[in-house]
Amino acid sequence: MTERIADLFAAEPPLGVEISLYGMTKETYERVTQVPGSFEKCREGIRRLVERKVPLKLKTMALAWNAHEVVAMADYAASLGLEFRFDANLNARVDCGADRNGELQIDARRAVELAQASPARLAEIKAFCEKHVVPQRPEDDPRVYSCGAGDISFTVDPYGRLQMCQLARRGGFDLREGAFAEGWRHFFPAVRARPWQTAAPCRACSLKPMCGSCPGAAELEHGNPEGLVRHFCEIAHAEAFLAMGEVEGHRADASCCAGRLPDEAAPPLIQLQRRRA
C-alpha cells in the first residue's frame, strides 16, 4: 500500500478495504508470510489508509502459529478504531492442489478459546445462531449446492475460467471460449442442479449455516463436493454449543456428524457409456 495508491483511494474512496494480519509481532508475521520486511510494510500500509480515512477493516486467519496473538491483533485494530474479525477454518490451497498444512489448522478447542477471549466474536456467533440455526432438523434439500455460489456470486480465476466460488475449482466455464451470459445462465444452473448421490450427514444438518464444510471446501479437501471437512464440522459444533448450550440432535464433539463418515468422502460417481459403432 504505497503513498500513491493510498492517495488514489483517498481521492476515489472504495466501498471498503480489508487487510489480513498474519501476526502482531515481526517474528510471527514473517514466519507465516516467509517474506522478510512484510510486517513493517503491512503496518505502514495500514497507517497510510487510516491517516486518509479510507474505510478499512482488519482480519486474520487464526493459525497454530499466530493464535496466541489474535487478541493482540484485535486490540491493535480497536486502538485504530477499526473493525476486526478472525476465522479458524483453514481451507486447502487452490493453486497447487496441496492439502491443508495440518501444522497450521487449530482444533475446535482452541477456536472456542479464541471466541471466549473475544466478546465481539462471541456476540457475533450468538447472533448468527439465533438468526440462522433452526432447533430442529431442516428439510432434506435435494441439491448439493444450496449456498449462493453461482446464484448470487461468482469468481473468475487468472486463466479466464468462470467459477461458482473461490473454492470450487474442479469445474468451470472458459470465458475465452464462450460468453459470460452462457456460463451464468446455462453452465452454473446445470452444476447447481446436482442432486445428492450419497447419504452425507451434511444433507440435513441444522448447523450447516454456520459450518465451513461447504461443497467447495469439501471439493478442495476430498475432490468431492459431498464430502465433509472434519475440522470444520468439529469447530461448528463446538461454537454452536458455546453459543446455545445444548443443540437438539447434536453432540458438542461433532461425533453425531463427523463420526458418521471417514475423513475422506466416497469417490464421485463415474458414468460409463458404451461406445457407439
- If we measure between CA atoms, which residue out of 235, 210, 234 comes closest to residue 138? 210
Please tell me whether residues 183 and 207 are part of one structural domain.
no
Sign of torsion over alpha carbons 140, 268, 208, 166: negative
End-of-domain residue from the set 64, 87, 110: 87
Please tell me whether residues 140 and 226 are part of one structural domain.
yes
Please tell me whether residues 168 and 203 are part of one structural domain.
no
CA distance 258 to 234: 7
Please indicate, yes or no, if residue 275 is contained in any of the structural domains: no
CA distance 68 to 70: 6
Please indicate, yes or no, if residue 45 is contained in any of the structural domains: yes
End-of-domain residue from the set 159, 174, 193: 193
Q: Tell me the residue range of the domain where 203 lies.
A: 118-144+195-262
Please tell me whether residues 128 and 251 are part of one structural domain.
yes
- Decide the pairing of beta strands 56-61 and 17-21: parallel
> Which ranges of the chain have pLDDT less than 70?
95-102, 135-140, 260-277
Q: Tens of pLDDT along 68-87?
A: 999 999 999 999 999 999 99
Q: Exposed/middle/buried for 267, CB within 10 Å: 0-12, 13-18, 19+?
A: exposed
Please tell me whether residues 20 and 78 are part of one structural domain.
yes
End-of-domain residue from the set 193, 224, 252: 193
Please indicate, yes or no, if residue 229 is contained in any of the structural domains: yes
Number of domains in the chain: 3
Please tell me whether residues 158 and 135 are part of one structural domain.
no
**168 CB contacts (<8 Å, ≥6 apart)?**
149, 215, 216, 219, 225
> pLDDT value at position 136?
65
Please tell me whether residues 179 and 220 are part of one structural domain.
no
**9 CB contacts (<8 Å, ≥6 apart)?**
17, 49, 52, 54
Please indicate, yes or no, if residue 139 is contained in any of the structural domains: yes
Please tell me whether residues 73 and 124 are part of one structural domain.
no
Please indicate, yes or no, if residue 111 is contained in any of the structural domains: no
> pLDDT value at position 147?
87
Please indicate, yes or no, if residue 185 is contained in any of the structural domains: yes
Q: Tens of pLDDT along 257-273?
A: 987 654 444 444 443 44
> pLDDT value at position 261?
57
Please tell me whether residues 72 and 176 are part of one structural domain.
no
Please tell me whether residues 185 and 157 are part of one structural domain.
yes
Considering just the CA atoms, what is the radius of gyration of the chain in Å? 21
Q: Tens of pLDDT along 152-173?
A: 999 999 899 999 998 887 778 9
Please indicate, yes or no, if residue 222 is contained in any of the structural domains: yes
Please tell me whether residues 79 and 154 are part of one structural domain.
no
Contact indicator for 52, 9 with CB cutoff of 8 Å: yes
Please tell me whether residues 122 and 254 are part of one structural domain.
yes
Please indicate, yes or no, if residue 179 is contained in any of the structural domains: yes
**105 CB contacts (<8 Å, ≥6 apart)?**
63, 64, 90, 231
